[in-house]
Amino acid sequence: MSYSPGRQRASIQLCTEQLGFALIAEATDLGVSARRMSPFERPSLSSWLQRPDEYDAIAWSHVDRAVRSVAHMSELTEHELQILQDVLLARSNGTRRERRTTTALLTGVAVGAGCDGRMYFAVRKRYPYGAYACRATARGEVCPTPAAIRSDRLEDYVVGRYRQTVSADTEVTREDLLRSGVRVIVAKGRPGGGPARLTGPDASRLAFSIEEPTDARQTG
């Protein structure tokens, strides 16, 4: 397969036309190895990754033009992807301010029981809510029991438990949860469950803990 700049450019142009996008710019890093250098370190590409609010998508001619390293794939699919996702989601539906579910409230708080790794927020197309899911594969790991759970229900559960613990009834932010050392461990769900599954999360899957069982808003 040829990876000449001209062939790559033609492939990208065809892709954008098929998707109905307008090609607004080109990032070319000739002579830079996708295996050795992170996308966030490449001279031309990195500047665009740092400005996700200026475009809707990035197209590569082939997936290995983006990343060829598991470690670099992890970079694209964890923290930086969360930032890109939040910005693009906010522009795509215009309602992000009205829905707490799109703010990744529990990033750094929710952990998968199978591998003890962070769970990350993922958008669910055509749904007003997303999901927190295990991302072990993005880290190059194998989780024996990868978990996923509806974001709005998990957030309501954690916020409710937090408010009970600190005896507060004010808005809860991600900073509050992290400052207080809040952690929720999520086990993989079981099939079935009946109508009870429609009312909220299965609490038997969840283990809530907090390092600071006092009002985290107090200082001094």
- Contacts of 117-126 with C-beta under 8 Å, sequence gap 24+, read 117/141, 117/143, 118/78, 119/147, 119/148, 119/149, 119/186, 120/78, 120/81, 120/82, 121/82, 121/85, 121/151, 122/85, 123/85, 123/89
Q: Any idea what the Cα angle at residue 213 is, between residues 210 and 215, rounded to 5°? A: 120
pTM for the whole structure: 0.52
**Sequence ranges of the domains in the chain:** 5-69, 84-209
What pLDDT digit, counting tens, does each position of 120-134 carry?
888 777 778 888 988
Return d(Cα 3, Cα 40) in angstroms, integer: 21
What pLDDT digit, counting tens, does each position of 160-206 carry?
999 999 988 889 999 899 999 999 999 998 765 555 556 678 889 99
Of 27-41, 82-96, 103-117, highest mean pLDDT: 103-117
Query: Strand order of the sheet with strand 206-209?
Result: 110-112, 183-186, 206-209
So what's the pLDDT on residue 88?
53
Structure tokens at 170: 């004010």
